[in-house]
């Protein structure tokens, strides 16, 4: 069976069915993530990159049709497969009208599911190639595969990366959190001779150390208790293509030795395997840590560092990219206005000044979060400083380049936006605003850019008793 590298999102409220779908599609070589309800699914879809979605039709609170509509609002080109035990002709017709790629009736065999997924993904890829599209999903939103910049240092860096892209040499991309290191890795991939082969990303910090080895190298059926099927590792999935090792600094020191051997020997040993499997993979590693310090601390191998750092790349932080802040802010305004079907507002001069003077400890990721929030709460045609919520003490002119590395690290740890849902961000922002004005809803609604009625509805939604509020 040929391996696949596409990432799929499985949505089903039934735990046993969810696990069966996960195991079936994982054994086919797909990278699979699961969600137990529609809200969780759309949150994951928005913040991830998925080649396709497989969802049950009947689920509490949010149905499969709702999931379908939500996915299509975020990314119209992503195929969605609906599964149901209660299908009718009318339901199928409605699903297809809403953009469903496939409609599967229960009971079905796992072979039927695999066949449907394979055909749907192949048809979607063929459609993209026929249209000549050069697109990718970033944060769940369709975006052209270009890095948005007019900064001279970034443009020179892109020229250098394009010139080395066709080599097989390993690349180590370093930069602060939120600078877009994976975006630069994909830029290399797109300009390489391997661009028609797989691009596989592994987040070394997100996978527990005890599981990372089997994820990286794979295992044979029966290799250990619970290994009921053979699993193809990330190196094999990336064979002929590119493997991104994100946050390489977080890899366990023992596993680093095995990684070094794979890179040196160009072969991988599955757990429980009888013989090595030859591979041809180009390695790109990223980190926001100081690997030289990690080497001195004995938590990172120097020989692995030199093997990865053949082509060193340092991504400058946003505060050093003169002219890119407003360019990126306007791009995000356009992106989230379209996503939320809102009229596109413009930045006031005061808002531009605030954005330019802010040091952006969370870099481009933080800027994107700020602009997404501003678009959502802005009820006029103009984004003003009150929509930005950048009233921190470090937001003063002249401070953007005045911090040293240790201060910058502390600020980044404190100020980087939390990885939370948009619902929680909105709720937090509303309560913080109400606290600032002693729960005067009229003042709070003006600051938030929403009506008092909308604010009352939000408070009711959060279960806040009206008696809590004071005069309006």
Q: How far is CA 92 from CA 43, 86, 115, 161, 301, in A?
A: 26, 10, 19, 48, 56
Query: Please, are residues 45 and 77 in contact by the beta-carbon 8 Å criterion?
Result: no
| pLDDT on residue 130 | 45
| pLDDT on residue 148 | 87
Query: Please, are residues 46 and 140 in contact by the beta-carbon 8 Å criterion?
Result: yes
Structure tokens at 309: 């750092």
Q: In what order do the strands lie in the sheet with 311-314?
A: 199-203, 242-246, 282-287, 171-174, 311-314
H or E stretch covering 455: helix 452-461
Domain boundaries, the chain: 7-138, 147-314, 322-461
pLDDT band at 304; cut points 50, 70, 90: very high
pLDDT at 69 over 80: yes
- Better pLDDT: 418 or 376: 376
d(C-alpha 274, C-alpha 271), whole Å: 9
Percent above pLDDT 70 for the chain? 83
pLDDT at 134 over 50: no
| pLDDT on residue 444 | 80
pLDDT at 109 over 50: yes
Cα torsion through 247, 49, 135, 70, rounded to 10: -150
pLDDT at 37 over 60: yes
Query: Please, are residues 389 and 355 in contact by the beta-carbon 8 Å criterion?
Result: no
d(C-alpha 38, C-alpha 63), whole Å: 7
Phi, psi angles (nearest 5°) of residue 108: -140, 155
Neighbours of 401 (CB within 10 A): 9
Q: Which fold has domain 7-138?
A: Rossmann fold (3.40.50)
For residue range 213-242, list pLDDT tens digits in order.
Answer: 888 888 888 777 777 777 778 888 888 899
The residues that bridge with 8 in the sheet, in sequence order, are 32, 52
pLDDT band at 273; cut points 50, 70, 90: confident
For residue range 363-410, list pLDDT tens digits in order.
Answer: 999 999 999 999 988 988 999 999 998 855 444 333 333 334 433 443
pLDDT band at 88; cut points 50, 70, 90: low
pLDDT band at 208; cut points 50, 70, 90: confident
Same fold, 7-138 and 322-461: no
d(C-alpha 442, C-alpha 451), whole Å: 8
Q: What is residue 271's DSSP assignment?
A: B
| pLDDT on residue 201 | 86
Structure tokens at 368: 């994107």
- Residue 202, judged by CB atoms within 10 A of its CB (0-12, 13-18, 19+), counts as buried
Neighbours of 144 (CB within 10 A): 10
Q: What does pLDDT average to over the chain?
A: 81
Tokens 């779908």 sit at which residue?
21
CATH number of this structure's domain 322-461, picked from the four choices 2.30.30.90, 1.10.8.60, 1.10.3720.10, 3.40.50.2300: 1.10.8.60
Q: What is the CA radius of gyration of the chain?
A: 24
**Among 345, 29, 81, which Cα is nearest to 198's?**
29
Percent above pLDDT 90 for the chain? 36
* For residue 107, cis peptide bond before it (omega within 30 degrees of 0): yes
pTM surpassing 0.85? no
pLDDT at 112 over 80: no
Q: Which fold has domain 147-314?
A: Rossmann fold (3.40.50)
pLDDT at 45 over 60: yes
Cα Dmax for the chain: 76
| pLDDT on residue 256 | 93
| pLDDT on residue 340 | 83
pLDDT at 3 over 50: no
Query: Please, are residues 353 and 212 in contact by the beta-carbon 8 Å criterion?
Result: no
Written as one string, the DSSP assignment of 37-99 is: SHHHHHHHHHHS--SEEEEES--SSS-HHHHHHHHHHH-TTS-EEEEESS--HHHHHHHHHTT
Q: What is residue 327's DSSP assignment?
A: H
Q: Which residues, 6 or more positions from 81, have their beta carbon under 8 angstroms from its beta carbon? A: 52, 53, 54, 55, 100, 101, 102, 103, 104, 116, 117, 120
pLDDT at 305 over 90: yes
**Angle between helical axes of 452-461 and 422-436 (0-180°, round to 10):** 120
Structure tokens at 410: 């502390």
**Among 340, 35, 61, 314, which Cα is nearest to 171's?**
314
What is the arithmetic mean of pLDDT over 58-80? 89
pLDDT at 2 over 50: no
């Amino acid at each position: 069976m040929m391996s696949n590298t596409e990432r799929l999102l499985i949505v089903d409220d039934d735990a046993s069915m969810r696990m069966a779908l996960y195991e079936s599609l994982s054994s086919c070589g797909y990278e699979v993530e699961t969600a137990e309800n529609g809200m969780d699914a759309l949150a994951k879809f928005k913040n991830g990159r998925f080649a396709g979605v497989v969802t049950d039709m009947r689920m509490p609170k949010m149905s499969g049709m709702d999931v379908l509509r939500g996915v299509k609002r975020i990314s119209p080109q992503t195929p969605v497969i609906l599964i149901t035990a209660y299908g009718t002709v009318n339901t199928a017709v409605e699903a297809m009208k809403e953009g469903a790629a496939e409609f599967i009736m229960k009971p079905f065999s796992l072979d039927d599911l695999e066949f449907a997924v394979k055909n749907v993904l192949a048809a979607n890829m063929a459609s993209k190639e026929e249209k000549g599209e050069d697109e990718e999903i970033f944060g769940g939103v369709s975006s052209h595969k270009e890095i948005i910049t007019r900064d001279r240092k970034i443009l020179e860096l892109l020229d250098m990366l394009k010139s080395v892209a066709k080599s097989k040499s390993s690349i180590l991309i370093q930069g602060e959190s939120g600078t877009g290191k994976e975006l630069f890795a994909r830029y290399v991939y797109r300009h390489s001779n391997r661009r028609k082969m797989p691009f596989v990303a592994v987040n070394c910090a997100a996978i527990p150390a005890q599981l990372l080895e089997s994820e990286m190298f794979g295992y044979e059926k029966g290799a250990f208790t619970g290994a009921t099927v053979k699993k193809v590792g990330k190196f094999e999935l990336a064979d002929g293509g590119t493997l991104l090792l994100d946050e390489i600094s977080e890899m366990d020191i023992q596993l680093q030795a095995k990684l070094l051997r794979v890179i040196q020997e160009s072969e991988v040993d599955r757990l429980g395997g009888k013989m090595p499997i030859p591979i041809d993979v180009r390695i790109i590693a990223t980190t926001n840590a100081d690997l030289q310090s990690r080497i001195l601390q004995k938590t990172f191998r120097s020989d692995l560092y030199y093997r990865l750092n053949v082509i060193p790349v340092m991504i400058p932080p946003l505060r050093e990219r003169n002219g890119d802040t407003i360019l990126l802010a306007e791009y995000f305004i356009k992106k989230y206005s379209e996503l939320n079907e809102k009229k596109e507002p413009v930045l006031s001069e005061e808002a531009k000044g605030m954005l330019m003077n802010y040091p952006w400890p969370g870099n481009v990721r933080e800027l994107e979060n700020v602009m997404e929030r501003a678009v959502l709460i802005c009820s006029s045609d103009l984004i003003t400083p009150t929509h930005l919520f950048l009233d921190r003490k470090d937001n003063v002119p002249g401070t953007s380049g005045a911090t040293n590395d240790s201060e910058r690290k502390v600020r980044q740890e404190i100020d980087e936006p939390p990885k939370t849902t948009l619902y929680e961000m909105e709720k937090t922002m509303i309560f913080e605003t109400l606290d600032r004005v002693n729960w005067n809803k009229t003042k709070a609604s003006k600051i938030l850019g929403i009506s008092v009625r909308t604010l009352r509805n939000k408070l009711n939604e959060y279960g806040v008793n009206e008696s809590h509020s004071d005069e309006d």
